[in-house]
Amino acid sequence: MTVKAYRNDLDQFFKFCFKDYQIDEPSEVSKNILRSWVVYLNKKDIKIRSINRKVSAVKGFYRFLLEVDEVESSQIEDFPLIKIKKKQAIPFSQEEIEATINNIKSDDFLGARDKLMIELLYATGMRRSEIIGLKLSDISLEKMTLHVTGKRNKQRIVPLIASLIDILNTYLELRKEKTCDHEHLFITDSGEKIYDSLVYRVVKKYFQNFTTKQRKSPHILRHSFATHLLEENADLNSIKELLGHESLAATENYVKNDLSMLKRAYKKNHPREKTTDGQ
């Protein structure tokens, strides 16, 4: 928050206090007055993030007044910010993923790298940070597995599906032609380790031609992985292990929208849930 924005937010608040409540002393401001200001801002169609910024400015100002003994107490210290609903992550459809992957040309280094990257993100459900951290030694072609290092250095083994092997071998051969002093699996054309924004750009680049969904990111591929497994009747514990979640609750929260969809389909189609006319 800039000093100018901070000052403007405070000016707006105290002008509101004086105009609507004839209050010009900070010590006279109550939680109800701050709540009224929030309602007023909301009616003016100000975005929730902006309202929360303004409220934070007022709360911060009162913390300062308390520290310098300008007020003896503050009624607004515990005033809550407005909760912002997270945008629902809408997974890619299986058709969108197939169309995207099938249209990535892999006859050169960058094409092979990008295709393998997208295939791995979808086939394993790995996080962006996890795919960046993959090393050559993490691959076992003999066992067809990947050794993945997740959050808080948690280790897990993820199976490699057979359809990945050809593009993996193609990429590994092309990678040998690059000069680099590390063993990270994915590298740039100049041999450097890949980075966050590169992975994001790769996913967006290829999916923008085959989906109208607004969000096109590595996380959506991870979400698609979990969703499609659930649709194919994989159990939650298996999905939990593959995603690298520490608790089943995290996995349930991750796929809660899909669980609701499946529950509705179950109640509609399962023989024991169906009712006949007249009953």
| Annotated catalytic residue 184 | no
Active-site annotation holder among 62, 171, 206, 254: 254
Last residue of a domain, which of 51, 67, 83? 67
Same domain, 52 and 171: no
Same domain, 137 and 49: no
- Residue 33 belongs to what domain range? 3-67
Active-site annotation holder among 54, 115, 128, 222: 222
Active-site annotation holder among 54, 113, 127, 128: 127
pLDDT at 1: 59
Same domain, 183 and 241: yes
Same domain, 139 and 258: yes
pLDDT at 194: 96
CB 92 within 8 A of CB 211: yes
CB 181 within 8 A of CB 192: no
pTM across the whole model = 0.66
Report yes or no on 74 lying in a domain.
Answer: no
Please report where in the chains the tokens 């100018």 appear, as a residue: 4
Taking each helix axis from N to C end, the angle separating 218-231 and 109-124, rounded to the nearest 10 degrees, works out to: 50
Report yes or no on 82 lying in a domain.
Answer: no
Active-site annotation holder among 7, 47, 143, 151: 151
Report yes or no on 80 lying in a domain.
Answer: no
Report yes or no on 217 lying in a domain.
Answer: yes
Report yes or no on 87 lying in a domain.
Answer: no
Nearest to 127 by CA among 227, 222, 255: 222
Report yes or no on 272 lying in a domain.
Answer: no
Active-site annotation holder among 35, 156, 184, 219: 219
Same domain, 171 and 108: yes
Same domain, 249 and 114: yes
Chunked mean pLDDT (size 10), the chain, 279 residues: 85 93 89 93 90 93 89 84 78 94 94 97 95 96 94 92 92 95 95 96 95 90 90 86 86 66 52 49
CB 94 within 8 A of CB 221: no
The DSSP letter of residue 193 is: B
| Annotated catalytic residue 182 | no
Distance (Å, rounded) from C-alpha 66 to C-alpha 77?
A: 10
CB 211 within 8 A of CB 96: yes
Same domain, 211 and 109: yes
CB 174 within 8 A of CB 112: yes
Same domain, 100 and 56: no
CA dist list (Å): 177 to 109, 123, 189, 244: 9, 26, 10, 33
| Annotated catalytic residue 219 | yes
Same domain, 171 and 244: yes
Report yes or no on 219 lying in a domain.
Answer: yes
pLDDT at 278: 42
Largest CA distance in the chain: 78
The DSSP letter of residue 108 is: S
| Annotated catalytic residue 245 | yes
pLDDT at 249: 80
| Segments in the chain forming alpha helices (H) | 3-21, 31-43, 48-67, 94-102, 109-124, 128-133, 165-175, 196-207, 218-231, 236-243, 248-254, 256-269
| Annotated catalytic residue 266 | no
Report yes or no on 276 lying in a domain.
Answer: no
Last residue of a domain, which of 67, 83, 106? 67
Same domain, 58 and 176: no
Tell me how crowded residue 6 is: count the other CB atoms within 10 A of its CB: 17
Distance (Å, rounded) from C-alpha 17 to C-alpha 35?
A: 11
What is the CATH classification number for the domain harbouring 118? 1.10.443.10
Total number of domains in the chain? 2
Same domain, 48 and 122: no
Last residue of a domain, which of 67, 102, 122? 67
- The residues pairing with 149 across neighbouring beta strands, listed in sequence order, are 155
| Annotated catalytic residue 264 | no
Tell me how crowded residue 147 is: count the other CB atoms within 10 A of its CB: 15
Same domain, 154 and 244: yes
